[in-house]
Structure 1
Amino acid sequence: MNAQAHPELTKNQALVFGSLSEADGPLTAYAILDLLRDSGFRAPLQVYRALDKLVDYGLVHRLESLNAFVACSHKGCGGHGAAAFAICETCGLVTEFTPEKAIGLLKDWTKEQGFQLTRTTIELRGRCSRCGANA
């Protein structure tokens, strides 16, 4: 997915999204700030504002356990309100996937409890197949 597909993005949002899209892995807000200093970014608040909107649009996800952000790896993410990630603790690889059955069970539970779900993020931590094979 690219920023051109979202003409409503501001210049700062497009720059932040571009940085995340080109990154090999998750980036913290301060890492993004360092990457964009030559583009006029001076304060963390500029990055955080852009990130907040990009998360709202479903273009970017926040990885809570890493306090970092990744660009969404598939279209339509903003529409389903759920994302899941497998995070390799050895090499840092982050793989986004959609566990439909688990999401369905979580939604059923929230309905039974009367809990008003707004967003779901699942983070699995462990070793990827490559690192697991080398252990």
Structure 2
Amino acid sequence: MAHSHEIPTDLTRNQELVLGALNTSPAPLSAYDILDRLRIEGIKAPLQIYRALDKLVERGLAHRLESLNAFVACADAHCHRKGLIAFAICEDCGKVDEFADAVIEERLGGWAQSTGFKVERTTMEIRGKCQSCLEN
């Protein structure tokens, strides 16, 4: 899931490094995977990674995949949205595709309104096999 997005200029050094690690990774990374990659940059404490990840997620620049306890860079440079974000996770190669669906988001919004449920964030994770793995 390598990305070539522009990194915002107002990030801290640690946030830049963490986002860079996520952008260049073909698969989701755990906080400890990121720490291992950034030790050479002088980052030694998991807390430094978690703080940077929290800010990146808050700004919509990265997403947490709950089922993997791992993180990915946002696939859409202009995403920064709070609506429904869905991830298709390949069980074989670990590739993650991100997408948003207005119809599902609208249906969920209608349900939430009718039940009085206040949705703070919605992340959908879909497991299966990507086209490349199916063809091999």
TM-score by length of 1: 0.92
| Distance in 1 of aligned mates of 2:37 and 2:83 | 29
More helix by share: 1
Q: Secondary structure at the match of 1:62?
A: strand
Q: Which residue does the alignment assign to 2:118?
A: 116
SS in 2 for 1:122: strand
**Deviation sequence 1:4-27 (CA, Å, 0-9, x none):** xx2221010000000000111100
Unaligned runs of 5+ in 1: none
Aligned 8 A contact 2:84 2:101 in 1: no
Q: CA deviation at 1:38?
A: 1.1
Matched residue SS, 1:96: strand
Q: Deviations over 1:85-135 (max 9, x none)?
A: 10010111110111221111111111111111111111000111222234x
Q: CA RMSD in A?
A: 1.2
- Secondary structure of residue in 2 paired with 1:83: strand
Alpha-carbon shift at residue 82 of structure 1 (Å) = 2.4
Unmatched 5+ stretches in structure 2? none
What's the TM-score once normalised by structure 2's chain length?
0.91
CA distance in 2, matches of 1:34, 1:20: 13
The counterpart of 1:37, out of the listed 39, 43, 58, is 39
Aligned 1:19-38 pairs, distance under 5 A: 19-38=21-40
- SS of match in other structure, 2:11: coil
For this pair of structures, how many residues does the alignment match? 132
Q: Quick one: which amino acid aligns to residue 2 of structure 1?
A: E
In structure 2, the partner of 1:64 is 66
* Moved beyond 4 Å, runs of 4+: none
SS at match of 1:116: coil
| Alignment-derived partner of residue 77 in structure 2 | 75
